[in-house]
Amino acid sequence: MTSTTILQELEGLSSGCLCEEYKREARSIQCSLLPTRNLTAGSVEVVFRYTPFAEVGGDFADFFVLPDGVIGLYVGDVVGKGLPGALYAGLVMGIIRGIHKTGVDTASMLALLNDRLLMRPVPGRFCATLYAQFDPFTQQLTFSNAGVPFPLLASKTGCRPLGQGGFPSGMFPGVSYDLHTVQLSAGDSVLFATDGLHELCNQEGAELSPAKLSEIWSQCGAKSATQSLQFLCDAVSAFSGSRGPQDDVTAIVLKIVANPSDQRPGN
């Protein structure tokens, strides 16, 4: 049985034939791949929220502290929902976890992810992926973007999108990615989110506009990371009303809460 056939079988199961026990098991496995707690490391806080459209979904996210003290994080969205989407998301996360431990920069990581997904391609499957690294000692954020909506920075000077996009992971061979660098400071908040947030619609069918999302996020400067994320969720929930999300929604907030440490551990 080919990988394509397997996914087609899963599509049929996830469309209505998947029993409740399988749904619970799939949900449990997917949750085990996601962060189990928020992260506080020196001058920075990282929190996240994951809301699948169905029992399981195609979004993925993680954050962690690398051996040199730098914080790595990624967020992404695969083509497809339900069990097939979750299966492909698990594949992507496994590849990323193997790459980020090597200490490569964010652009190289996405290029390697693209190459490895294409080594055994699954027809019709690819994913948007953003990988970022934040150095709490210099407070410098670097990231590369393979098709995820632009991160939003809320600072004392206002709210603005960061960086540029790129081809999604697993679509085309030989793709390279740009490396974006942003200097952050105490009080800054960066929102990383999948398109499920950006494409939320209200009851009249109008999408949440970039201007509206920026307006919401610009009000989070004085809030903690947890408060900012809750404020965002409350605001977009009020916008969408009873319609609710029509896709998986994942958001990561990186909040700079203090000035950087004087030196790295061990120096």
Strands 39-41 and 152-155: unpaired
List, in sequence order, every residue forming a beta bridge with 103; answer none if it has no partner.
none
User: What band does 53 get if pLDDT is binned at 50, 70 and 90?
Assistant: low
Cα–Cα distance for residue pair 71/63, rounded to 1 Å: 7
- Residue 212: C-alpha distances to residues 104, 152, 157, 219, 267 (Å): 36, 12, 17, 11, 45
Task: Find, among 83, 59, 78, 60, the residue nearest to 11 by Cα.
Answer: 83
d(CA 155, CA 164) in angstroms, rounded, equals 19
Confidence class for position 5, pLDDT limits 50, 70, 90: very low
Structure tokens at 163: 């960086």
Closest to 73 (Cα-Cα) out of 24, 113, 130, 121: 130
Residue 179, beta-bridge partner list:
none
Band (pLDDT 50/70/90 cuts) for residue 199 is: confident
**What's the pTM value of the predicted model, to 2 decimals?**
0.85
Tokens encoding 239: 């916008």
Residue 55 makes CB contacts below 8 A (sequence gap 6+) with 23, 24, 26, 27, 82
Residues 6+ apart with CB under 8 A from 189: 153, 154, 155, 217, 220, 221, 223, 225, 228, 253, 254, 255, 256
pLDDT value, residue 107? 95
By mean pLDDT, which of 6-10, 44-48, 80-84, 188-192 is the weakest? 6-10
Q: Decide: 157 and 102 in contact? Cβ < 8 Å.
A: no
Which CATH number does 3-256 carry? 3.60.40.10
Q: In which element (H, E) is residue 140 found?
A: strand 140-146
Least confident piece of the model among 25-29, 144-148, 169-173, 193-197: 25-29
Q: What are phi and psi of 24, to 5 degrees?
A: -65, -40
Percent of the chain with pLDDT over 70: 80
Q: For residue 58, report the phi and psi dihedrals to the nearest 5 degrees.
A: -105, 5
The yes-or-no verdict on residue 51 having pLDDT over 90 is no
Interior/surface letters 200-233, b for 16+ CB within 10 angstroms, e for the rest: bbbeeeeebeeebbbebbbebbebebeebbbebe
